[in-house]
Amino acid sequence: MSRPAIKICGTTSARDARMLGEAGVDFCGILVDVSFSERSLTLNEAQEVAAKSGTKNVVLLCNPDLSLTEDVVRKIRPFAIQLLCQESPSLLAKIKSRIDCEVWKSVHLPEMEDQASIEAYVDAGADTILVDTVDSSEGFFRMGGTGKVSDWDLVSKAVTSLKVPFFVAGGIGPDNAAAAIDALSPYGIDLCSGVEASRGIRDPRKVAALVGNVLPANEEIEGSTT
């Protein structure tokens, strides 16, 4: 078993994007036009950040129209588009038919109103599912980047028999990444606030600690199953 993929999201600067690649992170997440997030960039800003990334880029969009999605893919050429909010399975299917990169879908637990089932998104063509938290403590729904630790029992039930890879997110950091991996055996882990110095600003020491902690966790898992 190879180590799970590491995706670090909410990247806001070329410096941080470059650092992720140098640290051995697998995916750099960049938000575009996500109104509720201070980590969100304009398309032009995101293009500049993505150009300096030393790893695969994933661009996060919230209820996007097709024209924005197509502009993002044309200008950034990401590995994947990640639909972050309450997009319908029909919109996911339409986007997938119009672009030439992967389409990933965030689902939030507990389930939000108007959020379809994981199975419906997979049936619509989602290449990967990301299970994350939602927070309304600031008077609006913040989907992802909440710092709230997911209910891993709830996540485990949600991904049972899932036919596509999944990432687990929600309150993961260097100190509990190994525990999340051990509990859920995900394809990957997805972090944001857990490796920040402040909102939108990466802490290189936390990133290095995370990467250093993930491989030993998997080696231990491998050893226990041989």
Binned at pLDDT 50, 70 and 90, residue 148 comes out as: low
Residue-wise pLDDT for 132-141, tens only, equals 876 544 444 5
Q: What is the pLDDT of residue 149?
A: 63
Q: What is the pLDDT of residue 150?
A: 63
Inform me whether the pLDDT recorded for 145 exceeds 60: no
Inform me whether the pLDDT recorded for 94 exceeds 60: yes
Please tell me what DSSP assigns to residue 159.
Answer: T
Rounded Cα–Cα distance for residues 85 and 68 (Å) = 15
Please tell me what DSSP assigns to residue 195.
Answer: G
Please list the residues that pair with 59 across neighbouring strands.
Answer: 30, 81
Residue-wise pLDDT for 27-85, tens only, equals 999 999 998 889 999 999 999 999 999 899 999 999 999 999 999 999 999 999 999 99
Q: What is the pLDDT of residue 112?
A: 66
Least confident interval from 16-20, 31-35, 63-67, 145-149: 145-149
**Averaged confidence pLDDT in the chain:** 87
Q: What is the pLDDT of residue 106?
A: 94
Please tell me what DSSP assigns to residue 30.
Answer: E
Inform me whether the pLDDT recorded for 220 exceeds 70: no
- % of the chain with per-residue pLDDT over 70: 85
Number of domains into which the chain is organized: 1
Cα-only R_g, the chain:
16
> Which token pair is 52?
């300096």
Full-model pTM: 0.87
Q: What is the pLDDT of residue 66?
A: 96
Least confident interval from 106-110, 132-136, 203-207: 132-136
- Beta carbons within 8 Å of 154's beta carbon, 6+ residues apart: 109, 110
CATH number at residue 208: 3.20.20.70
Q: What is the pLDDT of residue 123?
A: 97
Residue-wise pLDDT for 161-196, tens only, equals 899 999 999 889 999 999 899 989 999 999 998 999
Q: What is the pLDDT of residue 171?
A: 84
Range of the domain at 89: 5-225
Q: What is the bridge-based pairing of β-strands 56-61 and 27-31?
A: parallel
